Amino acid sequence: MLTIQNLKKTFADDQKPAKGEKAKQVFAIDDVSIRVDEGAFFTLLGPSGCGKTTTLRSVAGLEEPDSGHIAVGGRTLFERGQQRVNIPANRRGLGMVFQSYAIWPHMSVFENAAFPLRVAARRSRSRADVKSKVMRVLETMELAHLAERRATKLSGGQQQRLALARAIVIEPPLLLLDEPLSNLDAKLRESLRFEIKRLQHDLGITTLYVTHDQNEALAMSTSIAVMNAGKIVQLGTPREIYETPRNTFVAEFIGASNLIKGTVASAESGAAVVETPAGRFVSAREHVVSVGDAVRVSVRPESIEIRDRGVDSGPNRLPGEVVTSSYVGDSVITVVRVGHHELRVRTRATFNAEPGLAVTLCFDETDVAVLPETI
């Protein structure tokens, strides 16, 4: 459905160049290539300035890349290579929801949703056809009863649904969403995540979604591309991204993780042993390291179990001392000092341990990721 190949986009560096030197160019997008299958919910995830929004805006036609290829449904929208193609944004036929929604304040809900149909190239569309399409979409968004209300009289969640209605009323082959939930409060944001995912699944709309929120990406996506410094550093399903990060950036950015520096003591097919100041870590995961490599081991807080000191022995059993515990509603976050390191452990909400308690941290070999020291 969506194909992006070798996309690059540079901007001039904000720093003033030295006398006699040219302004440096900074990569906003550095050789990005992705493929989004029809009906997929594909998310570009990363921190501010990583290039995710520039990539989305390039697909929309709001940014002009320096080079690369963009096609939707086999139709080339942009190319800088053997040929030069750059179809204007208003002729790409894509739906887009901006971070600020961009609702017309002087229009009613109905008029906002009908606007794309009225300015489209197919001006022969009848008023009855426009009304039928708009009302069908508004009913899907549970806004039909508010059709005559001014857009400014809507709540934040209703405005977000109206922006979605306006984007999908033209039945686009691709829906582009640029952090559409970032202006909502936490409770409403969580509710609308699942509403958007349900809508996307029910309508079968291929979607490219941009966010910096890891929970959004994990909850909504079929595939995630994690971006950093203009590059895709890992691409996979939400489960693959979370459970098998390829580098320390992904491990730290996606959820919470305990990262400890160490040195590979042995590396065989299907197993690796890493010596760290906190103890020996044994991993039974796939790894691309050799004996002597400087690495970091990563263990998620929910993968660690706290047991009484001395009742268990074997690999991945670390003696420690409870530093503090914090009740967070559905669980307890406990900090345990192991050597000079403090590891976070997520346990059931009923767990209780006083500071100073001697304990043993236990985790399975399949829960230990061995990551290269550099990205």
Q: Classify 348 as helix, strand or coil.
A: strand
How far are the Cα atoms of 67, 100, 131, 171 from residue 146, in angstroms, in the given order?
45, 20, 14, 22
Using an 8 Å Cβ cutoff, are 268 and 257 in contact? no
- Give ∠ CA 238-71-79 in degrees, rounded to 5: 125
Find all residues with CB under 8 Å of 350, minimum gap 6, and list them: none
Find all residues with CB under 8 Å of 294, minimum gap 6, and list them: 261, 262, 263, 373
Nearest Cα neighbor of 2 from 148, 138, 128, 175 is 175
What pLDDT shows up at residue 314?
A: 79
The pTM score is 0.89
Q: Tokens 């008023």 label which residue?
A: 127
CA pair distance 199, 113, nearest whole angstrom:
17
Q: Classify 128 as helix, strand or coil.
A: helix
Domain chopping of the chain, boundaries: 2-243, 256-372
- Looking at domain 2-243, which of 1.10.10.10, 3.20.20.140, 3.40.50.2300, 3.40.50.300 is its CATH number? 3.40.50.300
What pLDDT shows up at residue 185?
A: 82
Q: Is residue 155 packed enough to be buried (19+ CB in 10 Å), middle (13-18) or exposed (0-12)?
A: exposed
Output the tens digit of pLDDT for each of the chain's 375 residues.
Answer: 999 999 999 987 766 666 666 667 789 999 999 999 999 999 999 999 999 999 999 999 999 999 999 999 999 999 997 789 999 998 999 999 988 878 888 899 999 999 988 876 555 578 888 999 999 999 988 899 999 999 889 988 899 899 999 999 999 999 999 998 887 888 888 888 888 898 898 889 999 999 999 999 999 999 999 999 999 999 999 999 999 999 999 999 998 999 999 999 999 877 899 999 999 999 998 888 899 999 999 999 999 999 998 766 778 999 999 999 999 999 999 999 999 999 999 999 999 889 999 999 999 999 999 998 765
Q: Please tell me what DSSP assigns to residue 188.
A: H
Nearest Cα neighbor of 160 from 193, 208, 205, 111 is 193
What pLDDT shows up at residue 40?
A: 97
What pLDDT shows up at residue 101?
A: 76
CATH topology of domain 256-372: OB fold (Dihydrolipoamide Acetyltransferase, E2P) (2.40.50)
CA pair distance 185, 201, nearest whole angstrom:
24
| DSSP string over 309-335 | TTS--STTEEEEEEEEEEE-SSEEEEE
CA pair distance 361, 358, nearest whole angstrom:
10
